[in-house]
Amino acid sequence: MTHARLRTFITWTTAAVVLFGTVMVFSASTVLSYKNHDNAYTYGVRHVLSVAGGTVFLVLARRRQPSWWRRAAWVTLVACLAMQLFALVRGAAIGGQRNWIDVGFTTIQPSEFAKIGLILALAMVLSENQARGQSWRQIWLASGLVACAVIGLVALGGDLGTPIVLVVIALGMVFLAGANVRLLVYFIVGALVLGGGLISIKGYRMDRISAWFDPFNYKGEAGYQAVHGRFALGGGGILGEGLGSGREKWGGLPAAHTDFILAATGEETGIIGAGLLVIALIALVLAVLRVAMLQTDPFSRYVVGGIAVWLSSQALVNIAMVVGWAPVVGITLPFVSFGGSSMLATLAAVGIVLSYCDDSRRPPWWRRLRRAGV
């Protein structure tokens, strides 16, 4: 598939998934929206505004030259770390986590943008160190310092789901760069041990692990969300109850429009609707991977490959959480779930990928019109 066809496929697949997600957010959030705001469409309208903002981010990123991302890598990382540090010190605490910045009319979650900063910075570290002929021990050290700085600040805010994705991004990018598999295994084991430690220091996290093994035994406590997620996902059958006809959103399923949007989708559109959504996400990730394979410059290949790892790992964790293959960690489904920062960051990431799909840069539309004599 050529760059032009990949660009078209990624653009339209993203648009289709976002559009479908918008419909599902409107449907899944009506009850909660009316309860909290006396308006059934408040969350839906906010989601549309997030999509509009994300589209602007996508277009702006799409217009950048590929070389621009190399120059912006370290600045982006520093800005993301500064925002995350500010969230820790002066940010808003939501759900027991201090990972948000209150800007008055909305809140911003810097950890979502930290994924982009991590990808750009790691791509620089990997490409530059390989170009200088550094040993893999030195590359691992440099990559680890960058990754630990980002992951550590996010984890200090109390979030667990996002650090999991950040760890997978870091390990995935190092793997794409050709790291020694044995060293990779050592670091995976180390990450699992560290993750176990982070889980053990918080009682509610241990409860979620226990509920993962036997959610129905904890259905009134830590397993409540997992149990009702399964009720919603399985209750729709093959064709679903119909849009707007889901029952779990009436108070049974928490986060029906955010983390458990796939469960709400399965209830209202059935296995067919949820399955088509998952297939579309898989196709999108494969297309992004194809773009990465077509890059001849290592930095470009690592950036696009890192975005593919990000989107695939986050989607996989969310889907596994909903179907019961993983504990509930609180993470959104890319392009689908309600969440302004997540939508802005993921659409910006698609814009970055599209900037690497351009063989010939075209001038802005107003310049083309002027040249045409309009």
Instruction: Output the pLDDT for position 366.
Output: 44
Distance separating alpha carbons of residues 270 and 264, to the nearest angstrom: 9
Instruction: Output the pLDDT for position 182.
Output: 73
Please report, for residues 37, 60, 62, 223, the alpha-carbon distance to residue 49 in angstroms, rounded to integers and kept in the order given.
Answer: 17, 17, 20, 33
The answer to whether residue 96 scores a pLDDT higher than 70 is no
Residue range 8-23: mean pLDDT, rounded:
96
For 207, other C-beta atoms within 10 Å of its C-beta total 15
Strand intervals (E) in 16-159:
92-94, 97-102, 107-108
pLDDT tens figures, 280-295: 999 999 999 999 999 9
More confident residue, 132 or 314: 314
Instruction: Output the pLDDT for position 361.
Output: 47
Q: In the chain, how many domains are there?
A: 1
The answer to whether residue 374 scores a pLDDT higher than 60 is no
Query: 134: which residues sit within 8 A by CB, 6+ positions away?
Result: 142
In three-state secondary structure terms, 299 is helix
pLDDT tens figures, 349-359: 999 999 998 75
Instruction: Output the pLDDT for position 247.
Output: 85
pLDDT tens figures, 222-265: 677 888 888 888 888 888 888 888 888 887 788 889 999 999 99
Among 288, 314, 311, 285, which residue's Cα sits nearest to residue 301? 288
Among 69, 159, 84, 158, which residue's Cα sits nearest to residue 122? 69
In three-state secondary structure terms, 221 is coil
Q: What residue has token string 């002929």?
A: 133
Instruction: Output the pLDDT for position 199.
Output: 62
Q: How far is CA 64 from the centre of its chain?
A: 22
The model's confidence at residue 133, banded by pLDDT at 50, 70 and 90, is confident
The answer to whether residue 1 scores a pLDDT higher than 70 is no
pLDDT tens figures, 168-216: 999 999 988 887 777 777 777 777 777 666 666 665 566 666 666 667 7
pTM summary value: 0.90
Structural domain range at position 41 = 3-371
pLDDT tens figures, 136-159: 778 888 888 999 999 989 988 877
pLDDT tens figures, 26-56: 999 999 998 988 898 999 999 999 999 999 9
Average pLDDT, the chain: 86
The answer to whether residue 221 scores a pLDDT higher than 90 is no
What are the structure tokens assigned to 138, written together? 């030195």
Residue range 268-282: mean pLDDT, rounded:
95
